[in-house]
């Protein structure tokens, strides 16, 4: 039972990790917590659904259609609603993201109604590995998440755009002084977060179905970002997996009343011991 629980927890944690990654990317670059991340995820899973059902694309095409749409949606939201607020205190920007979340929810309901829709590209019987069964959706969720994380780490370490984004996160003024187009990079970051939200939405859709309120998973993933120091990409991944596994294992072995609050208890515990999160690294400055 524990191995089954562990696999379920890792798969759930991968979803949390992808959503948390969206939070982290935007926060790292712009210091804004995007409360619309869950709704971007929801909207993009609807786009994938529309690709499959309305336009009759095959799943791979619908998947990339949704990811590109997620990128464009993220970039568009930044350009229309966030960029005009640059320079203002952080609170109006955060409120704006909450407003975006509500608008996306209403637009989705208007187009696709509130009825849950099915998007299940990984259907089929579970695979049996020794005494452990793993469903195709969990297997693909874990595989796709790890591939994505690997590609992200390559992107941030070796690509020019990735290096520019890291530079902005490290030193905004210095980046501007050295000619990095900061606004364009902000826009790109929102696009990237939208794209990764799309992947998370498509992976979670077979488990919880698509409906306008599925974006609430974004708030559940928030502790993952906090656990991982809210600015660290590996931290978001580890935080997500720790959260998913702890939630599932707590559900198996602790009283049922504890299951839902256990991730939060864990978060409090971590914050008490390490308020800056697990993956926070202190900068050393020469004086």
Partner 1 sequence: MKKIKVLAIVGLCVACFLSFTSNTIADTGVNKKVILVGGSLDLTGPAAFMGQGVKRGINLYFNKVNAEGGIHGRKLKYIAEDDGYVVAKTVSNYKKLTLKSRVFCLLGSTGSVGPKALKPYLEEDKIPLVGPYGYTSAMFRPFHTYLFNIYATCEDQAKIFVDYLKTELKLENPVIGLLAEDNEIGQDTIRGAEAQVKKVGWQAPVVELYKRSAIDFSSQVLRLKAKNVDALFFPVISSHSAQILKECQKANFQPLLFATATATDLRFLKMAGDSAYFGKGLRSFATQINHRDNSSGAEEFRAAIAKYDPSNKDPNSFNLFGYGIAKILCEGLQQAGADLTREKLISALEKMDGYETGIFAPMTYGPNNRQGTDSVRILRADHNKKDFVIETGWLHPE
**Residue numbers at the binding site for partner 1 (CB under 8 A):** 1, 4-5, 8, 12, 106, 109, 113-116, 118, 120, 123-126, 128, 133-135, 138, 204, 206-209, 211-213, 216-217, 220, 247-252, 256, 259-260
User: Encoding tokens for residue 8?
Assistant: 């379920």
Residue 8 Cβ, how far from partner 1 at the closest point, in Å?
4
Cα–Cα distance for residue pair 66/76, rounded to 1 Å:
15
Q: Is the CB of 206 or the CB of 235 nearer to partner 1?
A: 206
Residue 6 Cβ, how far from partner 1 at the closest point, in Å?
11
Residues in the chain: 287
Cα–Cα distance for residue pair 36/104, rounded to 1 Å:
8
Residue 78 Cβ, how far from partner 1 at the closest point, in Å?
28
Residue 136 Cβ, how far from partner 1 at the closest point, in Å?
9
Q: Which helix (H) or strand (E) element contains residue 126?
A: none
Q: Is the CB of 138 or the CB of 164 nearer to partner 1?
A: 138
Residue 107 Cβ, how far from partner 1 at the closest point, in Å?
12
Give which of 78, 49, 83, 10 is closest to 198, Cα–Cα.
Answer: 49
Alpha helices (runs of H) in the chain, residue ranges in sequence order: 2-30, 37-53, 59-77, 90-112, 136-158, 160-170, 172-177, 182-208, 217-227, 233-253, 256-259, 262-273
Q: Is the CB of 164 or the CB of 220 nearer to partner 1?
A: 220
Q: Is the CB of 110 or the CB of 177 nearer to partner 1?
A: 110
Q: Is the CB of 32 or the CB of 243 nearer to partner 1?
A: 243
């Amino acid at each position: 039972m524990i191995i089954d629980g562990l696999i379920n927890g890792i798969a759930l944690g991968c979803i949390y990790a992808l959503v948390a990654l969206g939070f982290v990317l935007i926060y790292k670059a712009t210091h804004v917590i995007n409360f619309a991340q869950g709704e971007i995820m929801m909207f993009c899973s609807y786009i994938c659904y529309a690709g499959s059902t309305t336009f009759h694309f095959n799943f791979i095409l619908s998947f990339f259609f949704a990811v590109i749409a997620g990128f464009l949606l993220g970039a568009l939201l930044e350009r229309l609603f966030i960029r005009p607020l640059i320079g203002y205190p952080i609170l109006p920007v955060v409120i704006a993201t909450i407003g975006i979340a509500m608008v996306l929810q209403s637009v989705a309901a208007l187009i696709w109604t509130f009825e849950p829709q099915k998007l299940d590209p990984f259907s089929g019987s579970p695979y049996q590995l020794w005494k452990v069964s793993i469903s195709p959706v969990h297997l693909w969720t874990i595989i796709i998440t790890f591939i994505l994380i690997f590609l992200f780490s390559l992107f941030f370490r070796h690509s020019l755009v990735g290096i520019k984004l890291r530079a902005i996160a490290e030193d905004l003024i210095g980046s501007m002084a050295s000619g990095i187009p900061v606004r364009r990079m902000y826009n790109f970051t929102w696009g990237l977060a939208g794209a990764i939200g799309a992947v998370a939405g498509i992976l979670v859709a077979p488990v919880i179905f698509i409906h306008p309120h599925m974006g609430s998973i974004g708030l559940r993933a928030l502790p993952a970002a906090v656990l991982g120091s809210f600015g660290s990409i590996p931290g978001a991944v580890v935080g997500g997996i720790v959260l998913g596994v702890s939630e599932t294992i707590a559900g198996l072995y602790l009283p049922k009343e504890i299951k839902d609050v256990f991730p939060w208890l864990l978060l409090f515990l971590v914050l008490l011991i390490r308020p800056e999160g697990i993956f926070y690294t202190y900068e050393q400055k020469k004086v």
